[in-house]
Amino acid sequence: MTIHRFHSPLDQFIVGIDKALRVMSGVTAQTRPTPGARADDGNLDAQQQRHSAGLMRINHVGEVCAQALYNAQARFATSPALKAQFEQAGREEEDHLAWTAQRLAELGSQPSFFNPLWYVGSYAMGAVAAKLGDARSLGFVVETERQVEAHLNDHLDQLPQLDAKSRAIVEQMRLDEIEHGATAEAMGASEVPAPVKLAMTGMAKVMTTTAYYI
């Protein structure tokens, strides 16, 4: 017999704060080994290393945002199935968070200084999407994953060929994002209006430009 524990709004608030603090402090529960762990760490020159670090910092910020989005969408989802899907996707994205953080450290760099800001803003967006209904919330996931996939494709073009470790991480992330988007679409996602897509693209541009350096 399965016993379902009731979580009060206070319980849910505490859990949400705990998740946010873990994400922003770098405490992650990695479930899969880092892609490319055995890959040769190419002899990057200083410029290549800085460029790889900037791109991986952008990807780390993206995963901070993904945690916030999925946490908010799971928190406000109206169906148990959708809540479970968001929680599962969030756990898989947590692997990405750990992988990118580890790679940043290996490249002698650090996460974005503005991670708390990115997290809060993304959580608010996820909450708004969820409040618009399950179909709209799923549609937001589909569009988000489309844009993330495009960013990752661009990063694969930009990363130095010698940086096999970063490239392996980005490729696995790309495959996972495609799967998350396809799952959301299969669950009944509705199309995101064009003005919202443009706004999402604009916000992503600001985030990625800033995160590359800071």
Residue 24 pLDDT exceeds 80: no
Q: What is the pLDDT of residues 178-196, one digit of tens each?
A: 999 999 999 999 999 999 9
Query: Per the domain annotation, does 77 fall within a domain?
Result: yes
Query: Per the domain annotation, does 110 fall within a domain?
Result: yes
Give the whole-number percent of the chain exceeding pLDDT 90: 78
Residue 13 pLDDT exceeds 70: no
Q: What is the pLDDT of residues 36-82, one digit of tens each?
A: 888 888 889 999 999 999 999 999 999 999 999 999 999 999 889 99
* Cβ neighbours of residue 57 closer than 8 Å, sequence gap 6 or more: 100, 104, 109, 110, 111, 112, 211, 212
Query: Per the domain annotation, does 146 fall within a domain?
Result: yes
Domain that holds residue 91: 44-213
* Cβ neighbours of residue 56 closer than 8 Å, sequence gap 6 or more: 100, 103, 104, 107, 109, 166, 169
Query: Per the domain annotation, does 22 fall within a domain?
Result: no
Query: Per the domain annotation, does 193 fall within a domain?
Result: yes
Structural domain count, the chain: 1
Query: Per the domain annotation, does 5 fall within a domain?
Result: no
CATH number of domain containing 57: 1.20.1260.10
Give the whole-number percent of the chain exceeding pLDDT 70: 87
Q: Which residues of 142-152 are buried (b: 16+ CB within 10 A; e: fewer)?
A: bbbbbbbbebb
| Per-residue confidence (pLDDT) for residue 36, from 0 to 100 | 83
4 CB neighbour count, 10 Å cutoff: 6
* Cβ neighbours of residue 104 closer than 8 Å, sequence gap 6 or more: 53, 56, 57, 60, 110, 111
Query: Per the domain annotation, does 11 fall within a domain?
Result: no
Provide mean pLDDT across the span 10-36. 66
What is the value of pTM for the model shown? 0.88
